[in-house]
Amino acid sequence: MPRISIGVPFHNVEEYLPQCLDSILRQTFTDFEVIMVDDGSTDGSFEICQKYASKDSRFKLFHQENGGVAKARNTCLRHMNGKFITWIDSDDWVDEDYLEKLIDTQEKTGADIISTGLKTFRDGNIYIVNGNMERYNDFPDRVIPTKVAIADMFGSKYLLVNMCGNLVGAELYKGFVFSGNLMYEDYGNKYKLFLKSKKIVGLPGSGYIYRIRSSSIMGSNRTNTFEVEFNNKVVAVQHLERLIFYLEISNFELSYFYDLYEKWLDNQIVRDNGWTIEEQEKSNNFILKRKKLLEKRLKNSNGV
């Protein structure tokens, strides 16, 4: 049984795959397996991964019909055998001591989730995002309370909601299923792991390089148009209400998160941002409806 299972779901990324997989090959920590899942690629991505699988028995390749990244991650999980799990997106790459630092921190702390920092790569330049990582020092021994980790859904103060850039005990993935058909699927899934975790530790540093590219969801050209911003607001509400639903099932800090969500909704009220009156009304009416539903939820929870 390998210590670490690395999940690499991919779809039409032949331009970036070699850099990703080569960075895994160069790891100073070598007790790992790589589960590569082809999500119906139509370019040369599958053939590239075949070469790695044929040369190194730690690299294992699977194919599925195109079904989206969540389905590909679920396929990865079915074939993973490691004690710990980490994800490396197929267009990203990692420093050669990335795994070593993660597993060393786990051994020293006994944490079942280790979260580390990211570097971002865009237009040929690497940017180090250190501010969020330094905030790990806000907590004794960098142990992050579960409530704080989940609350990061509302503001990403600590950049904890990404599926990449962390090491997670495989036990937490038992019974775990990635929900599909979600934009920004990390936000719709990561908190499920936090709810099962006993100890979350922040690891300062930036060993994971996240590529921002124009064709990706996160790297798409975003203008400050109404339709783009309104759609992002709708997606955020969907994720947060799914989170509230899971918290209710778990009966976890409900009053705290009800209050947090209510304040988040209040901050979404548009007053003067350059939109037309009709656009502001559409956005505000949507938020006010969510507030009414939340109020109804609160009454039901209080037995009123």
pLDDT 10s digits, 53-72: 999 999 999 999 999 999 99
pLDDT digits (tens, 9 = 90+) for 251-291: 999 999 999 999 999 999 988 778 999 999 999 999 999 99
Domain membership flag for residue 161: yes
Whether the pLDDT of residue 131 is over 70: the answer is: no
- Among residues 159, 186, 211, which one ends one of the domains? 211
Q: Which of 35-44, 132-141, 209-218, 259-268 is predicted least confidently?
A: 209-218
Domain membership flag for residue 221: no
- Spatial distance between the Cα atoms of 33 and 123, rounded to a whole number of angstroms: 31
186 and 268 part of one domain:
no
232 and 197 part of one domain:
no
Number of domains within the chain: 2
Average pLDDT over residues 122-134: 67
The residue segments making up the domain with residue 100 are: 4-211
Q: Which amino acid, 116?
A: T
24 and 117 part of one domain:
yes
Residue 300: phi, psi to the nearest 5?
A: -65, -40
93 and 237 part of one domain:
no
- Among residues 156, 188, 211, which one ends one of the domains? 211
Domain membership flag for residue 110: yes
200 and 143 Cβ atoms separated by less than 8 Å = yes
Whether the model clears a pTM of 0.85, i.e. scores above it, the answer is yes
Whether the pLDDT of residue 133 is over 70: the answer is: no
40 and 71 part of one domain:
yes
86 and 137 part of one domain:
yes
Cα dist from 51 to 90, 158, 256, whole Å: 15, 38, 51
Average pLDDT over residues 154-170: 90
Q: pLDDT-derived band of residue 217, with 50, 70 and 90 as boundaries?
A: very low
16 and 146 part of one domain:
yes
231 and 278 part of one domain:
yes
- Spatial distance between the Cα atoms of 219 and 213, rounded to a whole number of angstroms: 5
114 and 261 part of one domain:
no
Whether the pLDDT of residue 304 is over 50: the answer is: no
Among 89-93, 181-185, 203-207, which range has the highest average pLDDT? 89-93
155 and 207 part of one domain:
yes
- Among residues 182, 211, 240, which one ends one of the domains? 211
Whether the pLDDT of residue 215 is over 70: the answer is: no
Domain membership flag for residue 18: yes
137 and 280 part of one domain:
no
Residue 219: the pLDDT is: 45
Domain membership flag for residue 217: no
Where residue 101 sits, what CATH number does that domain have? 3.90.550.10
Whether the pLDDT of residue 158 is over 90: the answer is: no
Residue 182: the pLDDT is: 63
| Mean pLDDT computed over every residue of the chain | 90
pLDDT digits (tens, 9 = 90+) for 188-202: 789 999 999 999 999
Residue 37: the pLDDT is: 98
Whether the pLDDT of residue 105 is over 60: the answer is: yes
**More confident: 126 or 269:** 269
Average pLDDT over residues 1-23: 97
Cα dist from 115 to 22, 38, 142, 267, 280, whole Å: 23, 26, 10, 28, 38
Domain membership flag for residue 220: no
